[in-house]
Amino acid sequence: SQQGEEDPQALSIQEGENATMNCSYKTSINNLQWYRQNSGRGLVHLILIRSNEREKHSGRLRVTLDTSKKSSSLLITASRAADTASYFCATDAGGNEKLTFGTGTRLTIIP
């Protein structure tokens, strides 16, 4: 069963705008990761945030983690057409050896 639910399921924004997507999970975690997948291809790791961290930045990406609410958000600033992809959160809540992916958000950047 899926650990994470992502919101929204799909998001379309104009190039240059910021995109925010949210992930909620059900049980306690050690870390939460975000991945990007371009259409029908392999996943690319974006960022990992540990349970004792509240915020992390990487380039135009900002991830927050609220363990009390069991939720995380991914913010992409100044979006570009190349950011068009599906974005998945993933947690290790199923056990250290397992990564369980959320339902994903399909992001479309309109040039």
Binding site for another protein (CB under 8 A): 2, 30-31, 33, 35, 40-45, 48, 88, 92, 96-104
83 in helix, strand or coil? helix
What does the alpha-carbon distance between residue 83 and residue 46 come to, in Å, rounded to a whole number? 12
Residues contacting 8, CB < 8 A, separation 6+: 21, 105
CB of 78 to another protein, least distance (A): 24
What does the alpha-carbon distance between residue 55 and residue 33 come to, in Å, rounded to a whole number? 12
CB of 13 to another protein, least distance (A): 20
CB of 52 to another protein, least distance (A): 13
Which of 104/109 has CB closer to another protein? 104
Is residue 11 within 8 A of residue 108, CB to CB? The reply is: yes
